[in-house]
Amino acid sequence: MKISHLACAALLCWATSVGAASEPPRPFVAGSVKDIAAAHAGQPFILAFWSITCVHCKANLDLFGRLLARHPDLPLVLVSTDGPDDAAAIGATLQRHGLEKRPSWVFADTFVERLYFEVDRRWRGELPRTYLYRAGLPARAISGKLDETELERWLQSLPDHRDRSGSN
């Protein structure tokens, strides 16, 4: 599905409302998850799906903000399941959590079930939904609120992360 003129205008409005350093979220459509995985080929990363109306999503966004303060190189990609018409609220939420400079996407297909299935054949749309990717291993899917200690442990287990943080 193509993004409507109204949705494009909403994305433009969002971009100007959150400052020049931020980019509007890219449209998440069929094939986007493959593009994201290809952009991180061979590298670990976190792919987090969230919504502006989801309470536990806000807790996860808070956690990501705290982790970024300690680990500025956190490999994080955010995908809002709300839609391009909610661009202003998406941008404000990301900014409130200090995530406005992270790679961000927004669902841009009204057939969301197709997007869920493409991301994970077992995903039925429950939020928040987070995937921990490691090179050479299947992504680990987590539904619901994340555990900070568990996520820190995952980060510390990454060879590149240990090297950058100065601990082995």
Can you give the residue ranges of every domain in the chain?
5-165
Q: Which of 16-30, 50-64, 80-94 has the lowest mean pLDDT?
A: 16-30
CA atoms of 11 and 91, how far apart (whole Å): 9
**Torsion angle defined by CA atoms of residues 17, 99, 73 and 138, in that order, rounded to the nearest 10 degrees:** -120
Q: What percent of the chain stands above pLDDT 70?
A: 82
For residue range 113-161, what is the model confidence (pLDDT) as tens digits? 999 999 999 999 999 999 999 988 899 999 999 999 999 999 999 876 6
For residue range 100-110, what is the model confidence (pLDDT) as tens digits? 999 999 999 99
Residues in the chain: 168
Phi, psi of 157 (to 5 degrees): -80, -10
How far, in whole angstroms, is CA 53 from its chain's centroid? 15
Per residue in 72-109, is it b (16+ CB within 10 Å) or e — as a string? eebbbbbbbbbbbebbeebbebbbebebbebbbbbbbb
Q: Are 47 and 77 in contact (CB under 8 A)?
A: yes
The pTM (predicted TM-score) of the whole model is: 0.84
Classify domain 5-165 at the CATH superfamily level: Glutaredoxin (3.40.30.10)
CA atoms of 57 and 37, how far apart (whole Å): 22
CB-facing half-sphere around the CA of 39: CA atoms within 13 A: 13
